[in-house]
Chain A
Amino acid sequence: MHNTYKKWILNTYDRVKSEYVELDKLDQLVGDGDHGSTILKGVTIAKQSYLENLNSPLDETMATISKQMRIEMGGASGILMTIFFEESGKIDELNLTLSIIDIFEKSIEKIMKRGKVKAGDKSILDIYIPVLNFLQKNSDFQSKKNEINEILSLSLAKTKEMEARVGRAKFLEKKGLGFIDPGAKSTEIILREYFAAIL
């Protein structure tokens, strides 16, 4: 599983590296304009730390890189976006389907609790929840990578029509209406690369 996760982390880094300027521009419209740079800091340390911790058990490696990403990124995005990285370390090769569902369930539960956020608030949850719903309804999801990717794209597009009820965007005059949520966009990248690696 280490090689699979290594592929996930390295490919995520490459994607973020090529898209972070666009993400910053998106965040200039609804935040303080640095979400892309913040995510890039996070995945840069993730890549470096992953390569240094290849010999540890996967759950320990992911707990370590999650903490390092959190420290490097700071803010709300640091604490919320690294939850999935930590939970993902609990994947079980012998029980792949159920363990992936469990990773999503636990991540969502922790994000809701820590961020005091719920579905439809225009946040990263609006990506995680539709994915979890699909995984729960399709026990054969391991053969449905394309459908998962479609859900990711569709869920991201839907955040455009949401008014923000959390974070800085909720205080903007138009509450971010008309723009996709920058955190949802980076989450979509992370999850797309995750499924590309593990399925």
Chain B
Amino acid sequence: MKKIINNKDRIVDDMLSGYIKANSDRVKFSNNSKRIILRSQPKNNEKTAILIGNGSGHEPIAMGWVGEGLLDANVVGDIFAAPSGDLIFEGIQELKKNSGCVLLISNHAGDVMNGEMAIELAKEHNINADLLLMYDDIASAPKGSEDQRRGGAGTTFIYKIIGAHSEMGEKKESLLALGELVRDQTRTLSIAVAAGVSPISGEKIFQLDDDEVFVGMGVHGESGYGRQKISSSKKIIKFMMDKIFDDYSYIEGDIVIPFINGSGATTLMELLIVYNDVEEYLDKYKIKCFKPLVNEYITTQESAGFSISLLNSNEQMRDLWISPSSAPYFHL
């Protein structure tokens, strides 16, 4: 394993310490835990707070999205492991003075179990908090079983849109409703090109031959539609977009927000070629694109590959998507 680290047991702590030092104008540690990242300047208590608990190893998500117009807190777990419900609850307690609290949870087994436990603890302590489960990866469960799908890169739309909405003073119930609508109108499909190395085991996270790609593979090497020989960007994009279009009914005139997310070791050159082909595909169906996001945001170490996420948007979503944010690693 070739990684620049000090001690395997301190990877997450060292990383977070560096992150806080590098962005001390915008984020800080909680006084109670160095696994809880907070805004340096908390938002007004009358507003609803938004936080997420997630495993690390996927940076810059989600610590990089704590900031004005986005998240209020991120509770950080070990590498590829959700933080415990106890720790997520501590994160919620940091925000208990806010009028309400929305806990975002990406649909992965450990995240959900610990998120649900944290919400139960919050309710026992009379804290007004609810969980919003996020899922979007069409390869992980069939149409009709959307709530069984994994959370993928398309969850970004929820973070940003309800984060921005909360900044305007919207109440928890309205944020949850908007978050669910964004979720229901988002589809994501990913492709793996080469495996990254787990910092814990030192081994490749999955096995792929040099001339193979894997459509629908999850961020931890979970299976999807299967292996195929690598081909041109246009052919790969057509295959992936056909799957997305089979899953969601788009109509002429729809305006989608596209997000092309790199998995950690895919060049910006390739991601922009991919975006070019995605927009060309959408253009054939007379579907317009609005302010796309093209970069590496939800990574799995040095994995190569990307995902395509599309949010079929309305005007409110688009306005919130482009509203300003001070989060250190969110740049439209």
Contacts and interface: CB of A to CB of B under 8 A. Distances in A.
B110 A79 contact: yes
Contact of B78 (A67, A75, A76, A168): A75
Using C-beta atoms within 8 Å of the partner chain, give the interface range for chain B: 20 to 34
Interface centre among B77, B80, B83 (most CB of A within 10 A): B80
Contact of A78 (B84, B200, B218, B222): B84
Interface in A58-116: 67, 70-71, 73-80, 114-115
Contacts of B116: 114
A91 B124 CA distance: 26
Contacts of A77: 110
A186 B73 CA distance: 34
B223 interface: yes
Contacts of A140: none
A33 B86 contact: no
A187 interface: no
A132 interface: no
A13 B246 CA distance: 51
A171 interface: yes
B84 A73 contact: yes
B223 A172 contact: yes
Contacts, number: 89
A139 interface: no
Interface string B214-253: 0000101111001000000000000000000000000000
B270 interface: no
B109 A166 contact: yes
Using C-beta atoms within 8 Å of the partner chain, give the interface range for chain A: 20 to 34
Contact of A70 (B84, B140, B150, B205): B84
A22 B290 CA distance: 50
A196 B252 CA distance: 69
Interface in A163-191: 166-168, 171-173
B145 interface: no
Nearest to B206: A172
A32 interface: yes
B140 A171 contact: yes
Contacts of B198: 32-34
Contact of B80 (A32, A70, A79): A32
B82 A74 contact: yes
Interface string B76-90: 011111111111000
B114 A74 contact: yes
Nearest to A37: B200
Contact of B85 (A24, A27, A28, A79): A79
B84 A32 contact: no
Given A32-B198, A32-B220, A70-B85, A171 B117 contact: no
B205 to A, nearest CB: 7
Contacts of A70: 84-86
A172 B85 contact: no
B200 A80 contact: no
Nearest to B224: A171
Interface string B91-126: 000000000000000001110011011000000000
B201 interface: yes
A74 B81 contact: yes
Contacts of A67: 86
Given A75-B81, A171-B218, A115 B201 contact: no
Interface in A114-128: 114-115
A75 B222 contact: no
A186 to B, nearest CB: 15
Contact of A75 (B55, B203, B221, B223): B55
A38 interface: yes
Interface centre among A28, A78, A80, A171 (most CB of B within 10 A): A171
A73 B200 CA distance: 14
A71 B83 CA distance: 7
A111 to B, nearest CB: 10
B113 A114 contact: yes
Contacts of A166: 109
Question: Ordered nearest first, which 7 A-B pairs have the shortest CB separation?
Answer: A171-B222, A33-B201, A75-B81, A76-B110, A75-B110, A34-B200, A74-B81
21 contacts: A27-B201, A32-B205, A33-B198, A33-B203, A34-B80, A37-B200, A70-B84, A70-B85, A71-B84, A74-B55, A74-B81, A77-B110, A78-B81, A78-B84, A79-B84, A79-B85, A79-B113, A79-B117, A167-B109, A168-B109, A173-B223
Interface of A: 24, 27-28, 32-34, 37-38, 67, 70-71, 73-80, 114-115, 166-168, 171-173
Given A33-B205, A78-B110, 18 more contacts: A32-B80, A32-B220, A33-B198, A70-B84, A74-B82, A74-B83, A74-B114, A75-B55, A75-B77, A75-B114, A76-B109, A78-B81, A79-B84, A79-B113, A168-B108, A171-B140, A171-B218, A172-B221
